[in-house]
Amino acid sequence: MDWQAWARRFEQVRGPEGFANLFADGGLFCDPVTEWTSDVRSVAEHTDQLFPDWNSKVDRILGGSTWAVFEWTGTGTFQSGQSGQSGAEASHGVPILMHGATIVEVDDQGKVTRWRDYLDTNEPLNQIQAAQQG
């Protein structure tokens, strides 16, 4: 598996459809706030609602034939849906920077069968709270 090429493709993913297309049928996802689920589109839709401009960069990736571990940096503008608007139309977004690590397993087509994110959920929360207090 060419993990560097896989990482570059992942970095180009935008929106729920793009994220869901990374996964094999029945592929599983889990992170600190999401129990194991095969409904990856729903996970991506939730992320898109909170951070409509979410962007991930793979900082480092190491792997074998069917698995990889990668460190990533994510950026986005948190949208709380203020003023009756949601997503990118909301008037007061808070830019955040987030770091994490992910373990993925893939099938022979390079489609994700398991994805587990590890991240500190306090990192974006602290940035959002600081912006709201400032």
The CB density around residue 11, as the number of other CB atoms within 10 Å, is 12
β-strands 112-119, 23-31: how paired?
A: parallel
The alpha carbon of 20 is separated from its chain's Cα centroid by a whole number of angstroms, namely: 11
The torsion angles phi and psi of 95, rounded to 5 degrees, stand at -70, 135
User: What is the residue-level pLDDT of the chain in tens, covering all 134 positions?
Assistant: 999 999 999 999 999 999 999 999 999 999 999 999 999 999 999 999 999 999 999 999 999 999 999 999 999 999 875 444 444 444 468 999 999 999 999 999 999 999 999 999 999 999 988 888 87
Q: Tell me what pLDDT residue 12 has.
A: 96
User: 94 with 6: CB under 8 angstroms?
Assistant: no
Tell me the pTM: 0.87
d(CA 53, CA 119): 19
Please tell me the predicted confidence (pLDDT) of residue 81: 56
Please name the amino acid found at residue 104.
Answer: V
Contact between 63 and 69 (Cβ < 8 Å): yes
- Number of domains, the chain: 1
CA distance 112 to 35: 17
Q: Which domain holds residue 40?
A: 3-133
Query: Which CATH number belongs to the domain containing residue 32 in this structure?
Result: 3.10.450.50
